[in-house]
Amino acid sequence: MKALDGVKILDFTHVQSGPTCTQLLAWFGADVIKVERPGVGDATRKQLVDVPGADSLYFTMLNHNKRSIELNSKNETGKEVLTRLIETCDVMVENFAPGALDRMGFTWERIQEINPRMILASIKGFGPGKYEDCKVYENVAQCAGGAASTTGFLGGVPTVTGAQIGDSGTGLHLALGIVTALYQRETSGRGQKVSAAMQDGVLNLCRVKLRDQQRLAAGPLKEYSQFGEGIAFGEATPRAGNDSGGGQPGRILKCKGWETDPDAYTYFITQAAVWEAICDVIGEPEWKTKPGYATPPERLDKLNEVFDRIEQWTMTKTKFEVMEICNPLNIPVGPILSMKELMEDDGLRETGTIVDVDHPERGRYVTVGCPVKLSDSPVEVVRSPLLGEHTVEVLTDVLGYGGDDLATVIDSGAVGEVDKVAAE
């Protein structure tokens, strides 16, 4: 038994934002049927290829637990099959460029006519307004949603983050919208349109930076390093390097081995509640009572001095030793972990967050499993489908095609090349 057992998803998504969303729904038990252009498929299948002839990791890591049907949605027979899929499914998810679904002839009005219980969930770059027609990729969303202007170091260029907050972040937002709409349908009996714009999703994740924008009106942001450095604030929330985004000052500090290991660093938070323990650990016990150091407000103009001193100590320890010493004292620290270290982390493997998957074309690879754990709906990560692997299965088992009907659809070319012998 899985949480979303019985829910059928018509997955018309591609690249990253939409597939992230439908992969989550598949992990929670929904039957996700990915509709792909015959002979081509999701463009990511052949992007950043590392094993010639095999689906790329970009595709496989975003499309687990789904079925794939090849279908030309611009061909008349293809449109008939798509119409039957809309009749049968509960949710249709898409992240085409603005207007693409309408141009196929499947407007929201038409979809409601076909199936009034259908939930149409869409990701676009921007919401309604002057940019609504624009195509958008990850980094554009990070720039337009406020992440880039607030990431990086003061005086440096705006910077994008490695976390895919525009694509995967918006996919997460959309997944919540979908299950919420499914829940409302239980009482309303109707479907609805669920929209998530990547700019909005990024801005939502940058909420604390909009908080700081408004706090600027009340004076300098004292927890930002630039305050202690005597650098005046401008009109907008500045880039704050690795300063903590909350009320407890924090920094990334060098650890033993930093000269040769680019990830020999720790994040160190000078949480007020454990200040005394920090003073003892770094060998500055007099700071516990010394005027100018004893309380958090007094320290705000001395953060560079305080963190320089803490760093003198962290540089004598590895990032894991810092963790071992500070954790029992309740001092919040965290090692900077590389992708290599994460991939080899036994704990993450035990919880199913890092998983090995076997694939017929590419062999074994590592992926990120479901990051949300439901105690009554365990997740088993199943490899991504090959292009059109389930075309006949979906036509027959899900849509009820058979005999001459099935032969007509296959011969029309609308569903790509299928093994006709097997289909019979």
65 CB-near residues (< 8 Å, 6+ apart): 23, 26, 27, 32, 381, 382
Under the binding rule (CB under 6 A), the answer on residue 413 touching ligand CAO is no
End-to-end CA distance of the chain: 32
Class of residue 52 by CB neighbours under 10 A (exposed 0-12, middle 13-18, buried 19+) = exposed
Shortest distance, CB of residue 176 to ligand CAO, whole angstroms?
Answer: 17
Under the binding rule (CB under 6 A), the answer on residue 342 touching ligand CAO is no
Task: Give 166 or 228: the residue with its C-beta nearer to ligand CAO.
Answer: 166
Under the binding rule (CB under 6 A), the answer on residue 60 touching ligand CAO is no
Task: Give 16 or 244: the residue with its C-beta nearer to ligand CAO.
Answer: 16
Binding ligand CAO (rule: CB under 6 A), the pick from 37, 110, 302, 309 is 37
Under the binding rule (CB under 6 A), the answer on residue 199 touching ligand CAO is no
Under the binding rule (CB under 6 A), the answer on residue 23 touching ligand CAO is no
Under the binding rule (CB under 6 A), the answer on residue 124 touching ligand CAO is yes
Pairing outcome for strands 265-269 and 250-254? antiparallel
Angle, helices 275-282 vs 303-314, to 10°: value is 50
Q: Which of 11, 42, 55, 167 is catalytic?
A: 167
Q: What amino acid is encoded at 98 in this protein? A: P
Overall size of the chain counted in residues: 424
Under the binding rule (CB under 6 A), the answer on residue 367 touching ligand CAO is no
Binding ligand CAO (rule: CB under 6 A), the pick from 25, 120, 136, 160 is 136
Task: Give 2 or 8: the residue with its C-beta nearer to ligand CAO.
Answer: 8
To the query of whether residue 167 is one of the catalytic residues in this protein, the response is: yes
Which range, of 68-76, 232-240, 259-267, 378-386, touches ligand CAO by CB under 6 A?
Answer: 68-76
CA distances from 247 to 62, 171, 180, 422 (A): 36, 29, 33, 64
Which range, of 12-20, 297-305, 325-333, 352-360, touches ligand CAO by CB under 6 A?
Answer: 12-20
Unique residue bearing structure tokens 């463009």: 43
Shortest distance, CB of residue 76 to ligand CAO, whole angstroms?
Answer: 12
Under the binding rule (CB under 6 A), the answer on residue 15 touching ligand CAO is yes
Under the binding rule (CB under 6 A), the answer on residue 143 touching ligand CAO is no
Binding ligand CAO (rule: CB under 6 A), the pick from 23, 60, 95, 149 is 95
Question: Two tokens at 360?
Answer: 């017929």
Is the distance from CB of 47 to CB of 85 less than 8 angstroms?
A: no
In 3-state terms, what secondary structure has residue 33? strand
Edge to edge, the sheet with strand 31-36 lists 66-70, 31-36, 8-12, 91-94, 119-124, 193-197
Under the binding rule (CB under 6 A), the answer on residue 197 touching ligand CAO is no
Under the binding rule (CB under 6 A), the answer on residue 96 touching ligand CAO is yes
Residues 209 and 386: their CA atoms lie apart, in Å, by: 42
Q: Rule CB under 6 A: which residues touch ligand CAO?
A: 15-18, 35-37, 71-74, 95-97, 100, 103-104, 123-125, 135-138, 167
- Give the active site residues: 167
